[in-house]
Amino acid sequence: MTQLTLDQHVLVEKARRFTWEHLVSLENTVTQQGGIEPEQARTLMRLGQESKLFATNIDSKYGGVGLSTFENVLIQEQLGVTKDVLIRRATGNIYECLMLGTAAQQERYLFPALKGKRWCSLAVSELEAGSDAASIKTCATKSDQGWVLNGRKAYISDAEYSDYFIVAAKTAPELGAKGISLFLVDKNVPGFSLGKSFNMMGFIGTSHNELIFNQIHVEEDSLLGEMNQGFKILCQTLGRARLAKVAARGLGKCVRLLDLMTEHAKQRHQFGKPIVETGNIRYILADCAIEIRVARALLWETARRMDKGESCREEISMLKVFVTELLGRVADHAVQIFGASGCHDGHLIESFYRDARLFRIIDGTSEIHRNIIANSLIKQGAPIIVDV
């Protein structure tokens, strides 16, 4: 496995210390309140900015921290040990595609986001178009003043909290995926409204909403990137999000769960001895440790290759499948080892168990990513040697 430099060790330790001091300490608050208060969110954002853990994925020339892909996955694993809403508030949810904006767009959207003054959500999913982004129905038609958007989005994370949205819409429906464009849409524009709020089984404290676009008029310069290049931009943006926010954070949760159930197995006694002395419990712990190490090796290799300019589309899909399904297994083992104490409302194990199930759905289902991997194998064959 790739060895870390001294600076990278320092970075990991900083992220670990920040997470345990400022985020883990608020987990019970999130459980009791169903989220965090606005003042708590502002405090976390300030602490994240002071620690240079806010907007780590955005190039420093724009005002972000500008970490490499590899450095970013290192800190995301440390952050991943805690609840989603706490990570979001402390580190921001700023998408790399905003760097593609014009100077005017960057002034209006990117720079305020980097200062924590404006928050953004990515609006792609629809009720009938989840993993299959190419089948979205939301459309944008040209007008004399710019564009007119119509349609609905669903399950949009942080919609209630956001000030604007990056909206995927069809500008050339006859072209399928090649006819999708991205638009920057302010929340206060006439014709926009928040629809149904979805009470999800996990990710407590993070809102998920329907967005309604009813004859929304936006200016010509609301187009982000080139027309009909939206799907390509989305693939690049979501690929990096899957690597950092799903694979790395999911791996962090696996580590946290393994630590919790190992300690519990040492403390819990059955039939006169700690259950950690039972053979099958030891095998479960060992198997989890093996798979976590394997997942981390692939994660680090993929991040290193992306820093060299490779797309690593298939490897990202492999990680999305492997880590999220591993998280499901580890969470299930944790529930079994904790027994009834890990099943009641409000227990961290119970909360992570529900979160783990959603990890296999968000940012593309396991089935979608297995198809991507299979398509690559069919076209290119299995790789023999990979240079890291």
Residues of the domain holding 22: 6-94
Q: Is the CB of residue 129 less than 8 Å from the CB of residue 137?
A: yes
Distance CA 211, CA 196 (A): 8
pLDDT(307) > 90: yes
- Please report the pLDDT score of residue 387 as a whole number: 61
- Please report the pLDDT score of residue 48 as a whole number: 98
Single-letter amino acid code for the residue at 304:
R
Question: Looking at the domain assignment, is residue 388 inside a domain?
Answer: no
- Please report the pLDDT score of residue 386 as a whole number: 61
Give the mean pLDDT of 230-236: 94
pLDDT(388) > 70: no
pTM for this predicted structure: 0.94
- Please report the pLDDT score of residue 164 as a whole number: 98
178 and 83 within one domain? no
What percent of the chain is modeled with pLDDT above 70?
Answer: 98
- Please report the pLDDT score of residue 12 as a whole number: 98
φ, ψ for residue 257, nearest 5 deg: -65, -40
The structural domain count of the chain equals: 3
Half-sphere exposure at residue 220, Cβ-oriented, CA atoms within 13 angstroms: 3
Give the mean pLDDT of 116-132: 90
- Please report the pLDDT score of residue 385 as a whole number: 60
Give the mean pLDDT of 50-68: 97
Question: Looking at the domain assignment, is residue 103 inside a domain?
Answer: no
Give the mean pLDDT of 51-65: 97
238 and 219 within one domain? no
Give the mean pLDDT of 50-66: 97
347 and 239 within one domain? yes
pLDDT(1) > 70: no
125 and 63 within one domain? no
